[in-house]
Amino acid sequence: MKLKSAIAVAVTAATFAAAPAISVAGGSYGMNKAAAAAAAHANVDIVDLAVGAGQFKTLAKALTAAGLVGTLKGPGPFTVFAPTDEAFAKIPADKLNALLADKAALAKVLTYHVVPGTVMAADVKTGAVKTVEGQSLNIVASSMGVTVNNAKVTKTDIVASNGVIHAIDTVVLPM
């Protein structure tokens, strides 16, 4: 790994690690007891869990291209709203390839899908939540399910040793 990349990963990891628990709709949420117990028994980090799931191949490729694999293998905790391969397939191939080739833009998009702390599905409430990228996602929790901006959460509480993944059906883009 080049020194510049190593420094960028270290700085990003320090930023993620220093982030406080997530605050949504007036509440502060860390990992609840059930999630903590599950995570304590999980020996797989977010990246390895996503790769092993089989539905996040494009996300894994994007994390590698953006230089974020080391960060998301770090201690966290992280909540990742992870676009599935089908979500990435909604992006025209030429635009997706251009994004994958632009490391800075790709890192911005991917970190927009990451929230510091661990937020389990039972803890999600409607409101804005600040991402690692710096902007906020709009979370809507209703009897119809949960949406993150314009993306529907399709699977929740995929627990890793360093956080949790919630699968989403659309890639969300920062402004």
Q: How many domains does the chain have?
A: 1
Q: Is residue 29, in this structure, part of any structural domain at all?
A: yes
Residue 50: what pLDDT? 86
- Relative to beta strand 163-168, strand 78-83 is parallel
Structure-token match 């039972």, residue found? 122
What is the domain range of residue 106? 3-168
Q: Is residue 43, in this structure, part of any structural domain at all?
A: yes
Structure-token match 């909604």, residue found? 90
Q: Is residue 143, in this structure, part of any structural domain at all?
A: yes
Residue 53: what pLDDT? 84
Q: Is residue 54, in this structure, part of any structural domain at all?
A: yes
Q: Is residue 95, in this structure, part of any structural domain at all?
A: yes
**Across the strands, what pairs with 83?**
168
Q: Is residue 52, in this structure, part of any structural domain at all?
A: yes
For 69, the token pair is 């694999």
pTM (predicted TM-score)? 0.77
CATH of the domain at 30: 2.30.180.10
Q: Is residue 34, in this structure, part of any structural domain at all?
A: yes
The DSSP 8-state label assigned to residue 49 in this structure reads H
Residue 21: what pLDDT? 34
SS3 146: strand
Q: Is residue 173, in this structure, part of any structural domain at all?
A: no
What is the pLDDT tens value at each position of the chain, 175 positions in all?
333 333 333 333 333 333 333 333 333 334 444 444 454 435 888 888 888 888 999 999 999 999 999 898 988 899 999 999 999 999 999 999 999 999 999 999 999 999 999 999 999 899 999 999 999 999 999 988 999 998 999 999 999 999 999 999 999 999 8
